[in-house]
């Protein structure tokens, strides 16, 4: 049995069944998460659906697990006043159905908790998460006009066991109206393209572009300047500079502790940390002897060398000061 193929095909089938059961036909409406993403991605994913790879399917399952963990924890702690996968329908001509992970109920209060499974806890919530939450709060406020609505985002890293909790959100009429206007534009373009009309949906480059199935045909990536990725690039460059500084700080500590362990001739313990001298051996090629041997046969090392290629992110930063850019919209 090909275990990888079994997992892939099985999870593909499960994902489709789960989506249909819990969310229905996503082609007939926009979800709250859709409105926070790039309009072009939302439309093209509907027009040209692809089967997800195993890594993506496993991430989906990680998300379901995170929600179940939260539900189990709250239930065991005695907090049973919540509903899961609550649907809230937004008003307007565009069909918008929000499926909310958790809604905690109290007299005259509805509190939303959106759960995100991540591979690393961010310093702050992603803008797409916040857009999704504002959409959910606005739709729920329409459904329960006499209730106080509030929201929070819980990010969970199942690998490290760390969490990030971003609280204090309340409905905002202006943001909600803006998100509904964006939804109208997405839905209008989508309906035109379903009928076969040519349209160029709006694009919103972000840190998630690398995961988009439609990246290779996106007009924003034809080697033009994409100011929307400025924050991601600046953060990477900043982290790389910090990495250089940290590495310089690490080496003296390692050298000093290694000298102590080496001189003592035995491991030492510092609270819960054991430091010891580790020795590893590896095989190496004696090029001198090999070159002499090959020379006797009329051959050289070059006769047996082959080239191989590898890829990496090539980053070149201009040393000249750029012209002032247009201020970002707030």
Tell me the DSSP string of 12-37: HHHHHHHHHHHH--GGGSB-HHHHTS
The stretch 257-284 carries a mean pLDDT of 86
The stretch 224-246 carries a mean pLDDT of 86
Position 316 scores a pLDDT of: 61
Position 195 scores a pLDDT of: 92
Q: Which fold has domain 3-213?
A: Lambda Exonuclease; Chain A (3.90.320)
The stretch 71-78 carries a mean pLDDT of 95
Q: Where are the domains of the chain?
A: 3-213, 225-278
Position 2 scores a pLDDT of: 86
145: its two tokens: 């006009």
HSE, CB side, 13 Å, CA atoms: give it for residue 3. 0
Beta carbons within 8 Å of 221's beta carbon, 6+ residues apart: 205, 209, 215
pTM of the model: 0.69
Least confident stretch, 20-34, 90-104, 277-291: 277-291
Place 179 in a pLDDT band, splitting at 50, 70 and 90: very high
| Number of neighbours of residue 118 by Cβ within 10 angstroms | 20
Position 154 scores a pLDDT of: 97
Position 327 scores a pLDDT of: 42
Place 73 in a pLDDT band, splitting at 50, 70 and 90: very high
Distances (CA, A) of 46 to 22, 42, 187, 191: 18, 7, 11, 11
Position 223 scores a pLDDT of: 67
Euclidean distance between CA atoms 17 and 19, whole angstroms? 6
Place 25 in a pLDDT band, splitting at 50, 70 and 90: confident
> Does residue 105 or residue 291 have the better pLDDT?
105
- Residue 297: which H helix or E strand, with range? none
Give residue-wise pLDDT tens across range 136-168.
999 999 999 999 999 999 999 998 899 999 999
309: its two tokens: 């290629």
Tally DSSP H helices, then E strands, for the chain: 8, 7
Euclidean distance between CA atoms 44 and 231, whole angstroms? 26
Tell me the DSSP string of 36-93: TS-HHHHHHHHHS--PPPHHHHHHHHHHHHHHHHHHHHHHHTT---EEEEEEEEPPSS
Report the share of the chain in percent with pLDDT over 70. Answer: 94
Position 321 scores a pLDDT of: 44
């Amino acid at each position: 049995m090909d275990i990888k193929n079994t997992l892939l095909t099985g999870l593909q089938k499960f994902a489709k069944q789960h989506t249909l059961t819990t969310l229905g036909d996503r082609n007939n409406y926009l979800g709250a998460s859709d409105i926070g993403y790039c309009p072009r991605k939302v439309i093209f994913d509907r027009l040209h659906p692809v089967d997800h790879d195993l890594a993506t399917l496993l991430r989906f399952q990680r998300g379901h697990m995170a929600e179940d963990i939260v539900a189990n924890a709250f239930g065991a702690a005695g907090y049973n006043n919540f509903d899961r996968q609550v649907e809230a329908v937004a008003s307007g001509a565009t069909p918008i159905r929000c499926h909310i992970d958790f809604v905690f109920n109290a007299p005259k209060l509805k509190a939303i908790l959106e759960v995100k499974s991540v591979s690393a806890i961010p310093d702050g919530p992603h803008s797409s998460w916040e857009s999704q939450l504002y959409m959910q709060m606005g739709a729920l406020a329409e459904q329960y006009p006499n209730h106080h609505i509030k929201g929070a985002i819980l990010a969970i890293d199942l690998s490290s066991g760390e969490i990030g909790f971003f609280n204090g959100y309340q409905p905002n009429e202006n943001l909600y109206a803006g998100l509904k206007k964006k939804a109208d534009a997405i839905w209008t373009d989508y309906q035109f393209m379903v009928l076969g009309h040519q349209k160029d949906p709006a694009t919103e480059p972000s840190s998630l572009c690398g995961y988009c199935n439609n990246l290779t045909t996106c007009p924003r990536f034809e080697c033009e300047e994409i100011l929307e990725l400025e924050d991601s690039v600046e953060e990477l460059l900043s982290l790389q500079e910090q990495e250089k500084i940290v590495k310089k700080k690490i080496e003296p500590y390692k050298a000093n502790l290694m000298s102590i362990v080496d001189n003592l001739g035995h491991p030492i313990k510092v609270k819960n940390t054991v430091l010891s001298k580790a020795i590893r051996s590896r095989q190496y090629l004696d090029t001198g002897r090999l070159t002499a041997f090959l020379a006797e046969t009329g051959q050289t090392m070059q006769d047996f060398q082959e080239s191989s290629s590898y890829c990496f992110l090539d980053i070149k930063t201009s040393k000249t000061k750029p012209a002032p850019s247009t201020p970002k919209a707030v």
